A and B are shown apart, each in its own frame.
Chain A
Amino acid sequence: MSVFIIRRLMQSALVVVIMSFIVFSGVFLVGDPVEILVSDDADQEEREMMIKSMGLDKPFLVQYGIFISKAIRGDLGDSFVFQEPALLLILDRMPATMELAVVALLIAIVFGIPLGVWAGLKPESLASKSIMTGSILGFSLPTFWVGIMMILLFAVVLGWLPSTGRGDVQIILGMPISVFSWDGFSHVLMPAVNLALFKLSMVIRLARAGTREVMHQDYIKFARAKGLKEQRIILVHVLKNILIPVVTVLGLEFGGLVAFSVVTETVFAWPGMGKLLIDSIGLLDRPIIVAYLMIIVFLFVLINLLVDICYSILDPRVRLQDIKS
C-alpha cells in the first residue's frame, strides 16, 4: 500500500513540474507584461528598468530555473501586478471560492437527488419530463448568459437579491465566511445557483439513471414482497444504492467547481480565485497564473490520489495489479 502511495506521489510531482513548464512557457510566449502594466508616459529607460526588476531580461530557461529553484523552497514568486507573494494572494481569495463551491455543491445535491429519483420513479409523468427537459437546459445554456439573465430577473426587475459582490464576512473558526448572515447568504445565492446548474443537471441524470436501474433489481422486488412501505424502499434501499456513483462523480467534480468558477465569479464580481485568475491572465501576471494552476493541479492530483486509495482499499484487485507490475 505504501509503495502504491509513494509511486502515486512521485507521479503527481512529475505532473506538477511538467504543468508548471507548460504554463510558464505559454505565458512567456503570449506577451509582455511590461507592455500591459507600464504607464504610457514612460520612456525607454523606464521600460528597461521594469523589465529588469521583473527578471524578464534573462533568457527563458534561466527564468524558469530561478522559478523552480525558488518553488522548491515554497516560494512561487511575487505577483507582477501587486508585488506581493502570489501564493498568499491566491490563498487570500480561496475561502470565497470554496464557500461558493460548497454552496453550489449543496444546491446540486439537495435539489438534484430528489428530482432525479422522482424522474426515475415516474419516468412517464409530465413532471418527470419537465425535469429532464430542464436538465438539458442546465447542461446546454452558457453560464455567462444564465448569470446575466438571473441578475436581470432577480436583481433588476424583482429586486429580491443583490446583483453582485460578496456580503459581510464573519470570522468563523478562523475562516472568513459570509453565508451565515442574511446579507451574506443573499449575496451568495445567485452565483451559487448559477455555478450549480450544470452539476445539478448532472446529479439529476445520474440519480434518474441509477433509480431506474435499481428499481428492477431483485432486492427491491424482495423488499416489496416482504411488504415494506414504498417510502422505506425508496429512502433506504434505492437511495443508498444510487448514491455511490453520485458521490464519486461529485467528489471529482468538486475540484472543477473550485478551479473553474471563473465565469460565474466574473459575472457576479465575486472576489474569489477565479476572478483573480482571469484578471491575471488579462494582465499577464505570470507568477499568479503559474501558482494558481499549480495549486489546481495539486488539488486534482490530491483528489485523484484519494480516489485511487479508496479504490484500492475497496477493490483488492487494483492493489494486486499494482504489486505485480
Chain B
Amino acid sequence: MRTWRQIGLAALAVTTLSGPLQAADIVIGIRSEPSSIDPYFHNLGPNNAMLGHIFDRLNDWTPKMDKMFGRAASSWKAINDTTWEFKLKKGIKFHDGSDLTADDVLFSYDRAANYTGGNSSFRTYTKGKTLKKIDDYTIHIMTEKPYPLMPNDTTTVMIMSSEAKGTGGKNKGISAKDFNNGTAAIGSGPYKFVEWKKGDRIVLEKFDGYKGPVAQPWDKITFKFIKSEPARVAALMAGDVDAIDNVPTSDVERLKKNPKISLSSGVSNRVIYLHMDQFRDSSPFVTTKDGKPMNKNPLKNPKVRKALSMMINRKAIVERVMEGIAIPAGQLLPEGFFGRSGKMQAEKFDPKGAKKLLKEAGWGDGFGLTIHGPNDRYINDAKICEAIGQMLSAQGIPTKVVTMPKNVFFKRASKGAEGGLPEFSFVLVGWGSGTGEPSSPLKSLLATHDKSKGMGASNRGRHSDPRVNKVLNEALATVDDSKRGALLAKATEIAIGENTGIIPLHYQVNTWATRKGLKFDPRADERTTGYDYTPVK
C-alpha cells in the first residue's frame, strides 16, 4: 500500500516537473514608443528601456538604482587616477551565437562616440575617453582627467556585435534602418528582437543562450503602444494587456479597489522643480503688483527666492494635486541615492517666515509673477502650476499661470528670448538623473551656463555661483566615493540650501499596474522593462 502511494506521488512529481512548461507570454501596454532599435540612435528613456532587453551594457542598475551590477563586465577597478580596468565575463554569447569579446566593446563604443545623425547621442558618456584592448576579456578605459563616474557611465552605452552586417553608409556601414528591420539587431541581452510594427507593437523573444544576471521570466514579451491614458487603463481592465505603465494619478484610487488589478509605485530619480530668472535686471515676467514692467528683478535676491520656496505648501500639492503619489523634495534626488545631503529637508510651508524674509530683502510689498509650465510632460504638470500660482497669490505675490504643450514650451523656456536666452522668468520643469547621483543635475541645472565647458546646459534661470562650480568640479575629479559623495552634498547645500538656485517641489512617483498574479519591481529610472515583471506565486 505504502509503496503504491509512493510510486503514485513520484509519478505525480515527475509529471508536474517534466511536463511541458506552460509558455509564459506577457503583453505590456506602454505609453511611449521608442524611436529606433539602433542602440546609439537616440539617448532617451523609451529607447534605453526597450533596448536593454536586447543589448547588454557593461554595467546596469538594479530597479531602485541603489546598486550597480555587471552585465557584460565581471569586475572593474581604477588602476590609477586616469585608467579604469574592466574585465569581461567569459562565455557571453550574442544572439547569432558568436562570443562577446573586447573587440565588440571597442567597436560599440567607437560607433556610439562617432554616431552621426540620430537624435542626441551617447557622446556625453564617451567624450574624453579612450578604450584599449588588453586581451580578449580585459579593457582599459583612459580618461583625460581623474574621472570617478566611469562605472556609472558604462550603464549607458550598449554593446552590439562587431559582426553585425548593414547595408552600408555612415556609422560603420550599419544604418538605423538595418536595426529596425532586425538584421543588425544582434545583442547579447536576455531577449531577442523579433519585430517592430511601428505605431503598434514590438515583440521580443527569450534568448536561450543567455546566462547573465538579468531574469528571463517570460518566453515572449509584447509591448503595445497605447498613448491615450484612458485607453491604456481600459486595455488592462479588459484583459487585452497584462500590464501597463504610467498609470494616471486620477485612476489610481479606482484601480486600487479593483480586485483583478495590482499596482506598484516607486519613487523615481526625477525631481520637479522651479527655475527663477537670475540673469536679467528686467525680467519679462516679473512685474509690479498691478502687472507693469519693472527694471528691478527681485528673483536675483536669494532671500526672495527662499521666501517663494517657503510660500509653497508642498504637502498640499502632494496630497491634493498628486493624490498622495509624490514625495516632497528638498534637494535633487530622493532618499537612497548616492551623494545626497543628509541635512536638507523639503522646505516647510511658512508664510509668516516668508513675509519676514521678503521684508528683509526690501520686497515686503510683493511683486507680480507669471509661472510658465508644460501641460503634457510631467505628471499633473499644469495642475501643479495652478496650485503654485494660487499659493503665491494668497501670500501677496499675484501670480499668473500660463501652461502650454511641451513642444511649444521647451523651445521658449530654453531659448525663446532674443539672443537664444530663456524667455520666461519662473518655470516649472523636471529632471531625471540618469547617472543615479546628483552630479548630472548639478552640472546641467545649477552650474554656471558655459558652452565651452558644457556646463549649465539646462540652466534656464542662469543661476551662477563660483563656489558651486568649484565644489562641483572638485567632486567630479574625486575618485574616492565617500569624499565625492560629501562634495556633491556640499555643492547641493550651497546651490539649493543657501542660494535657493532652484526650488525643488517633489520627487515624481511612477505607478505601474498589472493584472492580479503579476508584480512589477518599480524602477527609479522610470523604465518599463519586461524582465522586471514576475508572476506571483
Binding site for B on A (CB under 8 A): 30-33, 35-47, 50, 53, 80-84, 89, 92-93, 147-148, 151-152, 155-156, 159, 162-166, 266-269, 271-272, 275-276, 279, 281-284
Given contacts A271-B198, A283-B407, contact A45 B451 (CB under 8 A): yes
Collect the chain B residues with CB atoms within 8 Å of residue A44's CB. Answer: 451, 454, 457
Residue among B199, B226, B409 facing the most chain A CB atoms (10 A cut-off): B199
| Residue B124 lies at the interface, judged by CB distance under 8 Å to chain A | yes
Collect the chain A residues with CB atoms within 8 Å of residue B99's CB. Answer: none
CB pair B410–A40 under 8 Å, yes or no, is no
CB distance from A149 to the nearest CB of B (A): 10
23 contacts between A and B (CB under 8 A): A31-B407, A31-B410, A31-B411, A36-B406, A36-B410, A37-B35, A39-B42, A41-B43, A41-B124, A42-B124, A42-B457, A44-B451, A82-B36, A82-B198, A89-B198, A148-B231, A151-B234, A163-B234, A164-B231, A266-B227, A269-B225, A276-B199, A282-B405
Task: State which of A50, A81, A159, A272 has its C-beta within 8 Å of the C-beta of B35.
Answer: A81
Given contacts A36-B407, A44-B454, A163-B238, contact A81 B440 (CB under 8 A): no
Give A13 to B189 CA distance when docked, in angstroms: 51
Extra A-B contacts (13), CB below 8 Å, given A32-B410, A283-B407: A31-B410, A32-B415, A35-B411, A39-B42, A41-B434, A44-B451, A46-B120, A46-B123, A92-B198, A93-B198, A148-B231, A156-B238, A281-B407
A79 nearest in chain B by CB position: B35
Collect the chain A residues with CB atoms within 8 Å of residue B239's CB. Answer: 159
Collect the chain A residues with CB atoms within 8 Å of residue B220's CB. Answer: none
| Residue B197 lies at the interface, judged by CB distance under 8 Å to chain A | yes
Task: State which of B43, B119, B431, B458 has its C-beta within 8 Å of the C-beta of A81.
Answer: B119
Collect the chain B residues with CB atoms within 8 Å of residue A83's CB. Answer: 36, 41, 117-119, 176
CB distance from A290 to the nearest CB of B (A): 15
Kindly identify, within residues 394 to 441 of chain B, every residue whose CB is under 8 Å from any CB belonging to chain A.
Answer: 405-412, 414-415, 431-432, 434-435, 440
Give A38 to B440 CA distance when docked, in angstroms: 15
CB distance from B453 to the nearest CB of A (A): 9
Give A151 to B229 CA distance when docked, in angstroms: 13
CB pair A165–B408 under 8 Å, yes or no, is no
CB distance from B365 to the nearest CB of A (A): 37
* Interface 1/0 per residue, B14-45 and A, CB below 8 Å: 00000000000000010001011000011110
Give A281 to B406 CA distance when docked, in angstroms: 11
Kindly identify, within residues 448 to 469 of chain B, every residue whose CB is under 8 Å from any CB belonging to chain A.
Answer: 451, 454-455, 457-458
CB pair A271–B434 under 8 Å, yes or no, is no
CB distance from B45 to the nearest CB of A (A): 9
Collect the chain A residues with CB atoms within 8 Å of residue B225's CB. Answer: 269
Collect the chain B residues with CB atoms within 8 Å of residue A50's CB. Answer: 119-120
Pairs of residues from A and B, 3 with the lowest C-beta to C-beta distance, nearest first: A43-B454, A271-B199, A271-B200
Task: State which of A38, A152, A267 has its C-beta within 8 Å of the C-beta of B228.
Answer: A267
B414 nearest in chain A by CB position: A35
* Interface 1/0 per residue, B42-53 and A, CB below 8 Å: 111000000000
Binding site for A on B (CB under 8 A): 29, 33, 35-36, 41-44, 116-121, 123-124, 176-177, 180, 197-201, 224-228, 230-231, 234-235, 237-240, 376, 405-412, 414-415, 431-432, 434-435, 440, 444, 451, 454-455, 457-458
A281 nearest in chain B by CB position: B407
CB pair A163–B444 under 8 Å, yes or no, is no
CB distance from B136 to the nearest CB of A (A): 31
CB pair B451–A266 under 8 Å, yes or no, is no
Give A155 to B234 CA distance when docked, in angstroms: 8
CB pair A80–B410 under 8 Å, yes or no, is no
CB pair A35–B234 under 8 Å, yes or no, is no
CB distance from A261 to the nearest CB of B (A): 13
Give A147 to B409 CA distance when docked, in angstroms: 30
Residue among B117, B176, B234, B455 facing the most chain A CB atoms (10 A cut-off): B234
CB pair A39–B120 under 8 Å, yes or no, is yes
CB distance from A288 to the nearest CB of B (A): 12
CB pair B231–A42 under 8 Å, yes or no, is no
Task: State which of A84, A165, A268 has its C-beta within 8 Å of the C-beta of B201.
Answer: A165
Task: State which of B228, B406, B432 has its C-beta within 8 Å of the C-beta of A266.
Answer: B228
CB pair B407–A152 under 8 Å, yes or no, is no
B456 nearest in chain A by CB position: A44
Collect the chain B residues with CB atoms within 8 Å of residue A46's CB. Answer: 120-121, 123-124
Give A36 to B409 CA distance when docked, in angstroms: 9
B44 nearest in chain A by CB position: A39
Task: State which of B177, B228, B407, B434 has its C-beta within 8 Å of the C-beta of A30.
Answer: B407
Task: State which of A35, A45, A148, A269 has its C-beta within 8 Å of the C-beta of B410.
Answer: A35
Collect the chain A residues with CB atoms within 8 Å of residue B42's CB. Answer: 37, 39
Give A30 to B451 CA distance when docked, in angstroms: 25
Collect the chain B residues with CB atoms within 8 Å of residue A275's CB. Answer: 199, 227
CB distance from B44 to the nearest CB of A (A): 6
CB distance from B138 to the nearest CB of A (A): 28
A89 nearest in chain B by CB position: B198
B234 nearest in chain A by CB position: A151
Collect the chain B residues with CB atoms within 8 Å of residue A163's CB. Answer: 231, 234-235, 238, 240
CB pair B124–A39 under 8 Å, yes or no, is yes
Give A215 to B179 CA distance when docked, in angstroms: 64
Given contacts A50-B120, A165-B200, contact A282 B407 (CB under 8 A): yes
Given contacts A80-B119, A266-B228, A279-B227, contact A45 B238 (CB under 8 A): no
B121 nearest in chain A by CB position: A46
Collect the chain B residues with CB atoms within 8 Å of residue A151's CB. Answer: 230-231, 234-235, 238
Task: State which of B116, B406, B432 has its C-beta within 8 Å of the C-beta of A40.
Answer: B432
Task: State which of B121, B237, B240, B411 has its C-beta within 8 Å of the C-beta of A165.
Answer: B240
CB distance from B317 to the nearest CB of A (A): 23
Give A53 to B42 CA distance when docked, in angstroms: 14
CB pair A41–B197 under 8 Å, yes or no, is no
CB pair A37–B119 under 8 Å, yes or no, is yes
B376 nearest in chain A by CB position: A282
Task: State which of B120, B176, B409 has its C-beta within 8 Å of the C-beta of A38.
Answer: B120
CB pair B119–A164 under 8 Å, yes or no, is no
Collect the chain B residues with CB atoms within 8 Å of residue A32's CB. Answer: 410-411, 414-415
Task: State which of B36, B124, B408, B454 has its C-beta within 8 Å of the C-beta of A31.
Answer: B408
CB pair B43–A53 under 8 Å, yes or no, is no
Collect the chain A residues with CB atoms within 8 Å of residue B234's CB. Answer: 148, 151-152, 155-156, 163-164
Give A93 to B119 CA distance when docked, in angstroms: 23
Give A2 to B226 CA distance when docked, in angstroms: 49
Give A42 to B376 CA distance when docked, in angstroms: 22
Collect the chain A residues with CB atoms within 8 Å of residue B238's CB. Answer: 151, 155-156, 159, 162-163
CB pair A38–B119 under 8 Å, yes or no, is yes
Give A156 to B261 CA distance when docked, in angstroms: 13
CB pair B226–A269 under 8 Å, yes or no, is yes
B224 nearest in chain A by CB position: A165
CB pair A42–B407 under 8 Å, yes or no, is no
Task: State which of A31, A53, A93 has its C-beta within 8 Å of the C-beta of B117.
Answer: A53
Give A32 to B237 CA distance when docked, in angstroms: 37
Give A282 to B31 CA distance when docked, in angstroms: 13
CB pair A40–B444 under 8 Å, yes or no, is yes
B410 nearest in chain A by CB position: A35
CB distance from B437 to the nearest CB of A (A): 13
Give A31 to B406 CA distance when docked, in angstroms: 9
CB pair B414–A43 under 8 Å, yes or no, is no
CB distance from B4 to the nearest CB of A (A): 46
CB pair B407–A82 under 8 Å, yes or no, is no
CB pair B407–A155 under 8 Å, yes or no, is no
Residue among A44, A281, A282 facing the most chain B CB atoms (10 A cut-off): A44
Collect the chain A residues with CB atoms within 8 Å of residue B29's CB. Answer: 164
